[in-house]
Amino acid sequence: MSQKKALIVDDSTVTRLMIRKIISEEYPNWEILEAESADKAKSILPDHPDIDLFSLDQNMPGTLSGLDLVENLKSNYPKSKIVLITANIQDAIKNKAKDLGILFIEKPITRDKLIPLLETI
């Protein structure tokens, strides 16, 4: 099995650490990248054409939200899984994620919420 790669995009250091820990414990060979904003994530994407999983927060500092980044990701990474992991649980956000064809997980992130998704990659 080839090595997988994930990009965790969240302004919360604690959330990034929790997601990293869950992935690393289940799949220790995965390469895990992190970005503290969607703007930062967008800037590092050209160096990483082979990302299997994108974990996005919705509300972050900068000019882009997690959902703003999705269109770029879907066109450049059509086979990648994209999940919005956010505390913003408004119906409008959930519906937009659904319309974009991405998964939605409500914070706080837990192993039980994330592992079923990881098993599909």
User: Which pLDDT score, from 0 to 100, does residue 2 have?
Assistant: 61
What SS3 state is found at 86?
Answer: strand
Question: Whole-model pTM?
Answer: 0.95
C-alpha dihedral (105, 110, 113, 117), degrees to nearest 10: 90
pLDDT in tens, 87-120: 999 999 999 999 999 999 999 999 999 999 999 9
Domain regions of the chain by residue span: 5-118
- The yes or no reply on domain 5-118 and CATH 3.40.50.2300 is yes
Query: pLDDT tens across 61-90, in order?
Result: 999 999 999 989 999 999 999 999 999 999
Mutual angle of helices 111-118 and 13-26, in 10-degree steps: 50
With a cut of 60, say whether residue 14 has pLDDT above it.
yes
